[in-house]
Amino acid sequence: MAIDNNQGSAPVFNQFASDNYAGICPEAWRAMDEANAGFASSYGDDAWTERACSCIRDVFETDCQVFFVFNGTAANSLALAALCRSYHSVLCHDLAHVETDECGAPEFFSNGTKILHIPGLNGKLDLDAVEHAITRRSDIHYPKPRVLSLTQSTELGTVYTPDEIGAATVLARRHGLRVQMDGARFANAVAALGVSPAETSWKAGVDVLCLGGAKNGMALGEAVVFFNRELADEFEYRCKQAGQLASKMRFISAPWIGMLENGTWLRNAAHANRMAQMLADELVQTPAVRLISPCQANAVFVEMPAATVAALRAAGWHFYSFIGTGGARFMCSWQTTEEDVRALIQAVRLACRT
Ligand SMILES: *Cc1c(COP(=O)(O)O)cnc(C)c1O
């Protein structure tokens, strides 16, 4: 099945592998192009970076402190390192990116802070299990729990409501823990919930948010947003030491202006969510296909017969299948079209018959 999901003369690439397979959205591209006019000061001491920080403060309706880094692994691991000492521990979900996909960077940048993982349905933390992990030991031999890390939207494509975040942060605070949020897909959660960005972050008790740009439509770049400004003390040194201080910072910061000033970030996210919903609605009507977790953001997780997965791959479709042998993750982005979704649905139905 050949579909043209790319602009211009790009080769056909049938993929629902990740939202980071998408290109740069026009608004981010334009902002980068505008920032390319002439000279500007380096290392973030420029007008674009200042404006991008103001955009983030406006969007979150608070005087937060903002840092721009190259990617999500840096954002998460440096933020966690800022909240911990080496003998502390970070509690996160079993499937959390910081645990499974950062090659130990949080432990590395914090000089040994231990990640403790917690179970929970549909990618969300089970708060009883969180409390158990915090309280089961208080002796000097156990790495002292210091941070609760939540992913919004989650690694299984679900979304925490503001109340659920509030319950988690109240529990954390009761035990003296700080709260970090991995928001690689925060935009998708906000778009899905229809609440303000503030309500699903600092108003619900989050201290630090790692706000994703790449999967939302930028080339690269994530923002580390400290709502609790005290925790940002000397964070610029961490960024520099980790090789995360861009000398031509304006090209990381300016695209944020293009994303945030006119609501592109939420439009992109809402579009991706809508594509995923359309896909999920159709796939559940296919007898051999079962949803693994509810589709609440821009991902669809399904279980299919292994032969169906193999037939889809043989037909040239790209997707991840890291949840068991018959499991598949289909991820939508700002660039996914309805035609792409229809083509995949047709390909799945065809593959089911093989
Ligand atoms: C993609 C992703 C990140 C960031 O990954 P990088 O490749 O380091 O940019 C962080 N958290 C989650 C949940 C992600 O899906």
Beta strand ranges found along the chain (DSSP E): 65-69, 88-93, 114-118, 144-151, 178-183, 208-212, 222-226, 290-291, 299-303, 327-331
241-265 mean pLDDT? 98
pLDDT score of 280: 98
Rounded Cα distance, 110 and 108, in Å = 5
pLDDT score of 49: 98
Rounded Cα distance, 28 and 4, in Å = 22
pLDDT score of 2: 41
Joined tokens for residue 102: 């950062």
Cβ-based burial of 17 (10 A; exposed 0-12, middle 13-18, buried ≥19): middle
Q: pLDDT tier at 209 (50, 70, 90 boundaries)?
A: very high
Residue 118, beta-bridge partner list: 93
State what percent of residues in the chain have pLDDT above 70: 96
pLDDT score of 3: 43
Residue 182, beta-bridge partner list: 151, 210
pLDDT score of 12: 83
Closest by CA to 122, choosing from 149, 93, 98, is 93
- Whose tokens are 């040994």? That residue is 112
Rounded Cα distance, 78 and 87, in Å = 16
Q: Is 44 a residue whose pLDDT tops 90?
A: yes
Q: pLDDT tier at 353 (50, 70, 90 boundaries)?
A: confident
Atom 7, ligand 1: which residue's CA is nearest? 72
User: Per residue in 78-133, pLDDT tens?
Assistant: 999 999 999 999 999 999 999 999 999 999 999 999 999 999 999 999 999 999 99
Q: pLDDT tier at 327 (50, 70, 90 boundaries)?
A: confident
Lowest mean pLDDT among 317-321, 324-328, 347-351: 324-328
Q: Is 290 a residue whose pLDDT tops 60?
A: yes
Joined tokens for residue 301: 């997780």
Q: Which atom in ligand 1 lies closest to the alpha carbon of residue 214?
A: 9
Ligand 1 neighbours, Cβ below 6 Å, are: 71-73, 76, 97, 151, 155, 182, 184, 214-215
Q: pLDDT tier at 9 (50, 70, 90 boundaries)?
A: low
Atom 14, ligand 1: which residue's CA is nearest? 184
Rounded Cα distance, 305 and 190, in Å = 33
Rounded Cα distance, 231 and 348, in Å = 48
Beta strand ranges found along 203-337 (DSSP E): 208-212, 222-226, 290-291, 299-303, 327-331
Q: Is 1 a residue whose pLDDT tops 80?
A: no
What distance in angstroms lies between residue 293's CA and the mean position of ligand 1's atoms? Answer: 20
pTM: 0.96
Task: State the number of CA atoms in the 13 A half-sphere of 209 facing the CB.
Answer: 29
Beta-strand relationship, 88-93 and 144-151: parallel
The number of beta carbons lying within 10 Å of the beta carbon of residue 285 is 9
Q: Which atom in ligand 1 lies closest to the alpha carbon of residue 70?
A: 9
Q: Which of 182, 329, 332 to mutate to test the pocket of ligand 1 (most atoms within 8 A of CB)?
A: 182
Phi then psi for residue 195, to 5 deg, are -115, 175
First to last CA, the chain: 15
State what percent of residues in the chain have pLDDT above 90: 94
What distance in angstroms lies between residue 1's CA and the mean position of ligand 1's atoms? Answer: 30
Rounded Cα distance, 116 and 58, in Å = 35
Q: Which atom in ligand 1 lies closest to the alpha carbon of residue 20?
A: 1
Q: Is 7 a residue whose pLDDT tops 70?
A: no
* Structural domains in the chain plus CATH codes: 19-23+264-353 (3.90.1150.10), 26-260 (3.40.640.10)
Joined tokens for residue 118: 């917690």
Atom 3, ligand 1: which residue's CA is nearest? 72
38-53 mean pLDDT? 98
Q: Is 6 a residue whose pLDDT tops 60?
A: no
Instruction: Check if the beta carbon of residue 249 is closer than 8 Å to that of residue 46.
Output: yes
Q: Is 4 a residue whose pLDDT tops 50?
A: no
Buried b (16+ CB within 10 A) or exposed e, 185-202: bbbbbbbbbeeebbbbbb
Mean pLDDT computed over every residue of the chain: 95
pLDDT score of 238: 98
Rounded Cα distance, 82 and 16, in Å = 35
